[in-house]
Structure 1
C-alpha cells in the first residue's frame, strides 16, 4: 500500500482509504442495526459513517500539530452519540453501545491510516467488520458454553502463562536432565493440543459423525477415544460395527500426526528422520479406516454420535502427565547407564502399556547423548506397542458378543502388520 505514495499524492491516497473504510463500516453497521433495532432508533446511515470518517480526516489535517480541532470534533461527536443513546434508552428501551464505539473508531481512522503501516489499519478495519458480522455467532457460542468454560480457559492460561515462566530451569537431580521448566513445558504443549481438540469437538464439530469424532479425539488421546467408542458400541448393531472401528483407526491415524507436531516442536533433527515413517503410518491407517467405512450399508452412512462434552483440560490430568514424565526421565536415565540402548529399546515397548507421550517427549528433551536414530526407533516402537494395547482395549471394552471384534482384529491387525514392516525397513536401511 505504501508504494502508492510514490505515484499518487499522499493526501489523496489517505482520503480515499479513509472514505472507503468508513463506507464499508457504515454498510456493515447499518445492516446489523436494521435487523436488531429498526429504522426508528438507527443512528444515521452508511453515509453517516462515511461523513464521520471524512470529518475526522479534515479536522486531522487542518491542525496537524496540536490536534485541537480533531479532539474538539471527537468531543462533539461523542456528545451527539451520548444524546442518541439516551433517547434510545429512555424512549425505546434499546440498550447497547456497539454503534457508539464503532462510530468513534470510524472517526479515528484518519490518524490511523496517516501514521500507521498498511497492515495495521487494514487489520483494524477487518476486525471491526468481523466482530460486527459475528454477533449472532457469538450469541450461539455463549449459549452452548458450559458454566465452567471460562474457568477452564483460565486454568490453561494459568499453567501456560503464569506457572511456566516462574519455574526454574536448573536440574532437580544432579546428572539427570530434569528441570521443572522442561517438565511443565511438555505438560503445557500436550495440554494445549488436548484443549484445542476439545474446543473443536464442542464448538465446531458438535454434531459430527463417528469418523470426525475419532479424528478430533485422536488429537487428544487415541487410547481414551478408542475406549469410549468401544463402550458406546455395545448398543450398536452388526451393520454399525464397521463405523466404530473406522473411527477408532482414524483416532490412531491422528495420533501419528499429533506426534509429528510434538516432535517438530521439541526436536527438528528427530523430525527430519522420523517424519516419512509417521506420515506413511498415518496414511496407511487412514486408508484402512476408510476401507472399513466404505463397507457400511447406505442406511448407516452419516450416523450422528451423541455429543461427548467431557473436558480433557484438568489439573489432575496435567499432574499425572508431569509425574509420568518424571518417572520416564529417571527410568530412561538409569536404563541407559545399566542396560544401554538395548534396554532403552525394551523400555520403549513397555511404555506402550501407559501413556507414551511422556516417554517420547522425554526422549526428545532429556537424552542429549542418545543418537537421533535411536530416538526415532524407540519412538516408533513405543507407538506400535501402544497401538497393540489400544487394540486390546477396544477388544475388551466392546464386550464378548460384540460385532466389533472381528473388525477390530482385521483393521488393527492390518495396521500393526504394516507398521512392523516399516519398522523392519527402518532398521535395514
Structure 2
C-alpha cells in the first residue's frame, strides 16, 4: 500500500494549482499524505513486528510517532476498562506527546527547513520537558504498579488504509483553503484564532499546509501558529485523558500537560 501511495500515485499527481490564487497542487497535498503515512507506517511496523509485546512506555514512544491524540484516547480508557496501571499509563501518554514534537519537527524540516530551524529550540525544549516528566512518573510508579508485569498493549490500526489517506488529503485541502481565506479576510489575528481552534482536530493537515505554503506574512507567525495549535491539542488530550481515564490518572496528566502548556505560553511571549 505504501508503494502504491508513494511510488505510483505520487508521481502521477498533477502539479497545477487547483484553486486560483491558492498555492495548492494535488502533488503538494499528496506529498503531505506520503510524509505523514511514512512516519506512521514506520511506527506501525515497529510495534507489530519488532516490539509486538511492547510495554506501556515503549507503546507511548511509538504511539507518539503515529498519533499522540489516538494514543491518549486509547490508553486512558484502558485504566478503567482493563485496569491499566495509572502512573505507568500516564507516563506512556506523556511520552507520546514528547514524540509528537519530534514528529512535527521532522515534518517542518522536510517541507520548510528555515521554519524547522526556528522551531528547533522551542520544540526540543518542550519535548525534553515532557519526556523528563514522563520518565519521572515512570520510575516513580514502576515498582509499585508493575508487580504483576505490565499489560501487553494492542497493535495500532494500519495507517495505510486508503480511506485514511483520502481523509487526510481532504483535511489538508480544507485547512489550506481555510487558512488562505482566514488570512485574506482577518489577517494574522485570524490565523492565531484558527491555530487554537484546529487543535481540537488532527493538527497535522493544518500544520503541513502552513509548512508548504508560500506565505505572504512573517515566518514567526507560522512558528506561533504551530505552537498555539499544539497548546490546544495538548489541552484536548488532557481533557480526553481525565474524562476517559480512572481517577488515579488525572493528577499525572494535569501535571504533565499543564507544565508543557505553561512552557508553551512562556515561549510564545519570548519569541
Tell me the TM-score normalised to structure 1 length.
Answer: 0.61
Tell me the equivalent position of 2:122.
277
| Cα distance in 1 for residues equivalent to 2:215 and 2:81 | 49
- Aligned ranges 1:304-323 → 2 under 5 Å: 304-323=151-170
Aligned to 2:184: 337
Task: Tell me what 1:265 maps to.
Answer: 110
Whether 1:327 aligns to 2:167 is no
Asked whether 1:170 is paired with 2:37, we answer no
CA RMSD, 1 decimal: 1.5
Shift of 1:309: 4.8
Report the equivalent of 1:161: 7
1:215 paired with 2:61, answer yes
1:195 counterpart residue number: 41
How far apart are residue 237 of structure 1 and its match?
A: 5.4
Tell me the equivalent position of 2:259: 414
Answering whether residue 209 of structure 2 is matched by residue 356 of structure 1, we say: no
1:184 and 2:30 matched = yes
Structure 2 SS opposite 1:281: helix
Query: How far apart, CA to CA, are the structure 1 residues paired with 2:163 and 2:21?
Result: 29
The answer for unaligned runs of 5 or more in structure 2 is: none
Unaligned runs of 5+ in 1: 1-154
Query: Contact 1:329 / 1:359 at 8 angstroms: preserved in 2?
Result: yes
Query: Secondary structure, in 3 states, of the residue corresponding to 2:201?
Result: coil
Q: Tell me the alpha carbon deviations over residues 333-356 of structure 1, each in whole angstroms, 9 at most, x when there is no partner.
A: 111111011111111111101011
Pairwise CA distance, 1:300: 2.9
Does 1:229 pair with 2:75? yes
Distance 1:162 1:313 in 2: 14
Structural mapping, 1:23-422, within 5 Å: 155-235=1-81, 240-301=85-146, 303-398=150-245, 402-422=247-267
- Mean Cα deviation higher: 170-179 or 298-307: 298-307
Using the TM superposition, give the Cα deviation of residue 389 of structure 1 relative to its aligned residue in structure 2, in angstroms.
0.8
TM-score, normalised by the number of residues in structure 2: 0.95
The number of equivalent residue pairs is: 269
Larger radius of gyration: 1
CA distance in structure 2 between the partners assigned to 1:260 and 1:339 by the alignment: 27
